[in-house]
Amino acid sequence: AGGSGGAMAEGEGLVSVDYEVFGKVQGVFFRKYTQGEAKRLGLVGWVQNTRHGTVQGQIQGPSARVRELQEWLRKTGSPQSRISRAEFSDEKAIAALEHKDFQILK
């Protein structure tokens, strides 16, 4: 399991992280805006509403870009949303992306 030949800059490895966003995040186009932001950053994964009023999903991509979307999920969201907090879990390095694009799941 030797190191790779330094072709990718440090911090540009691929990561996967799960997220859940709490607050007023349903019925405010939160999923659509999250998808748009993820696509702008070139990330893949998914987003969905949960039964208990939160939004959850998974993000995968270069770690620096994933950080940007995490920050966006924590602070920005859709224009009418009011985020109380965002939780991230199960972060891990991955060898390849496991999704083709960023989808809104029902």
What's the CATH number where 73 sits? 3.30.70.100
DSSP class of residue 3? Answer: P
Place of tokens 């965002």: 86
In a domain, 74, yes or no: yes
In a domain, 95, yes or no: yes
In a domain, 12, yes or no: no
In a domain, 34, yes or no: yes
pLDDT tens track for 65-86: 999 999 999 999 999 999 999 9
Q: What is the pTM of this model?
A: 0.88
In a domain, 35, yes or no: yes
Average pLDDT over residues 56-60: 98
In a domain, 24, yes or no: no
Within 8 A by CB and 6+ apart from 33, the residues are 77, 78, 79, 81
Within 8 A by CB and 6+ apart from 53, the residues are 25, 26
Contact 102, 45 (CB under 8 A): yes
Range of the domain at 51: 29-104
Residue 65: how many CB atoms within 10 A of its CB?
Answer: 19
Q: How many domains does the chain have?
A: 1
Catalytic residues: 31, 49
